[in-house]
Every structure is written in C-alpha cells, then in structure tokens.
Amino acid sequence: MRVPTITPKDKRMPFETILFDITGSVATLTLNRPDKLNAFTAGMHAELREAMDRVRSTQGIRVLLITGAGRGFCAGQDLSERAMAQGRAPVDLGSTLEANYNPLIRGLRELPIPVVCAVNGVAAGAGCNLALAGDIVLAARSASFMQAFSRIGLMPDAGGTWILPRTVGLARAMALAMLADKVSAEQAEAWGMIWRCVDDAQFAAEVKRLCDTLAAGPTKAYGLIKQALYASLGNGLSEQLSLEARLQREAGKSRDFQEGVTAFLEKRPAKFTGG
C-alpha cells in the first residue's frame, strides 16, 4: 500500500488563519478565524495558497476536507480589511478575484482527488461559494447558505454564478443572488444545492465516515469522475461520449480497476490503494 509522504509539521511555519492537518490519507483544511466567522483576509488567501501547494505536492493524500472553526463555515470576504474600508480609493475587485478567489476555486476543481466541504455553520458570500465548490458538500442541519453579495452592492463571485444555475436552476439562482436570503441546510439539500444535511450531533461522525470511505476508494477513478462530470456541463452528448472513452481508457489501466475486478471474482471487498 502506498504510504503518504508527509513532511513533519514542526519543520514548517505554523499557519495563523487556517489549520492544516494530514491524518492518514485525508488532508484537512480548517478556516480558523472563528471570531469573524472565518472571513477571508489577504493573509488567509496566502495561507490557503500554501496549503493547496502542500496538498498538490504531498504524495498519498486521497481526500481534501475543508471546514470552518467555531460556529461559522466562512462569512466571505472580510469587509473590515483595510483595502475594503470606506473613504479609500476603490479597490479593483476584479484583480482581487483573479489574485485570490479564482485560483482557489480553480485549484479545488482541478485537484484530482475528492474535495469534501463540511459546512458546520453559516456560509455567506464567497464563503458560500467556497462551500459549493466542494465535490461533495455535507452540511450540519443548523448551517445556512447565503449569497450575501447584493446586500453590499455586489454580484456573486467565487464561482457562484456558475454553480448555482447548474445545481438549483436559473429561477432559484436568480432569486438567491438578488434577494440574498439565507437558505437553511435542509432547503439546500432539498434543492440539490448540496449532497446532504445531517443532524448537528451526527455531523462530525458523518464527515469522518464520508472522508474515510473516499480515502479508501479508487482515487484515480474519483479524479476521472470529477473531470467527466464537470466537463459534461459544457459538452454535448457526442463530445461527452468521446471523453468517457478517453477517461475510461485511463481508468482501465489502473491498479484499482484490476483489484476491483479481482475482488469481485474472489467475492471479497476490494482493497483500493489509489493507484
């Protein structure tokens, strides 16, 4: 079995606004400014970039889990950050997005392993869209989702205008973006915005169960599934069939495919190693 290559944490500078942990094959990234509901700052973005680099460069990570410390998941951009403050020359928000938010969302999408977002509390603005950028989104029943942007005269960013019409449909996406209403985790599940919402008391255990399941799964196939399903959102059927043939060719060369078939024939559970 492949053993994760993990650089000891004590050899690195600790993070200040996030927590980053690798246990077994699961990397956990916890947004950690609980007093401010984990709102994004420039410093947090820099740390997120560093953490994402570590995820990409550490062999053996098979799942990335993103969650928030305290009672919130993430309240979006920190509106009290100096650059946002009133009276200053207007900030070029497009540049902020290109420098900070867009690489984060693209990075998650392009990661060839499953990204689980465990939404422990309120997810607002860009924090909501970070949550929705997870490949599988699990929320605590008390969590909520809010496209807060229009309340401060903005439009959704961090991928919100892309993901919402695709998950909840145009009618709901439009009203969510314009009205900035808070959506409960239950409603989000019912609308197909997220995978599931679970009782708060079971949340931590369910998140762990999901991550353990994915970490023991066929990692290569998961990466290919991700690639195919996201590509399908822009493809016609014929293009998608060709893509399926190309990606299945890759899956067919994996050790996990061999193991999956052998295990089936031997009537035993498969032991996937991610290769």
Instruction: Show the binding pattern over residues 126-155: x = contacts ligand LHQ (CB under 6 A), - = does not.
Output: x-------------------x-xx-xx-x-
Residue of 27, 39, 44, 118 that binds ligand LHQ (CB under 6 A)? 39
Q: How far is the CB of 113 from ligand LHQ (least distance, A)?
A: 26
Q: How far is the CB of 263 from ligand LHQ (least distance, A)?
A: 46
CA 260 remoteness from chain centre:
27
Contact flag: residue 122 with ligand LHQ (CB under 6 A): yes
Q: Where in 72-131 does DSSP place strands (E)?
A: 72-74, 115-119, 122-124
d(CA 22, CA 43): 21
Residue of 29, 37, 197, 216 that binds ligand LHQ (CB under 6 A)? 37
Instruction: Show the binding pattern over residues 156-175: x = contacts ligand LHQ (CB under 6 A), - = does not.
Output: -x------------------
d(CA 201, CA 189): 18
Residue of 60, 107, 114, 125 that binds ligand LHQ (CB under 6 A)? 125
The strand pairing partners of 5, in sequence order, are: none
Q: How far is the CB of 221 from ligand LHQ (least distance, A)?
A: 34
Q: How far is the CB of 155 from ligand LHQ (least distance, A)?
A: 9
DSSP one-letter string for 19-65? EEEEETTEEEEEE--GGGTT-B-HHHHHHHHHHHHHHHHSTT--EEE
What stretches of 216-236 show up as alpha helix (H) in DSSP?
219-232
What is the DSSP code (8-state) at residue 85?
S
Give me 244's structure tokens: 């399926």
- Size of the residue set binding ligand LHQ (CB under 6 A): 24
Residue 180 CB: number of other CB atoms within 10 A? 18
Which of 83/231 has CB closer to ligand LHQ? 83
Contact flag: residue 31 with ligand LHQ (CB under 6 A): no
Measured CA distances, 67 to 77, 104, 112, 127 (Å): 16, 15, 19, 11
Contact flag: residue 47 with ligand LHQ (CB under 6 A): no
Contact flag: residue 36 with ligand LHQ (CB under 6 A): yes
Q: Could you say which residues in the range 60-99 bind ligand LHQ, by CB under 6 A?
A: 75-80, 93, 96-97
Residue 239 CB: number of other CB atoms within 10 A? 12
Which of 21/98 has CB closer to ligand LHQ? 98
| 145: phi then psi, degrees, rounded to nearest 5 | -130, 135
Give me 85's structure tokens: 């403050």
Which of 39/168 has CB closer to ligand LHQ? 39
Contact flag: residue 179 with ligand LHQ (CB under 6 A): no
What residues make contact with ligand LHQ under the rule CB under 6 A? 36-37, 39, 75-80, 93, 96-97, 101, 122, 124-126, 146, 148-149, 151-152, 154, 157
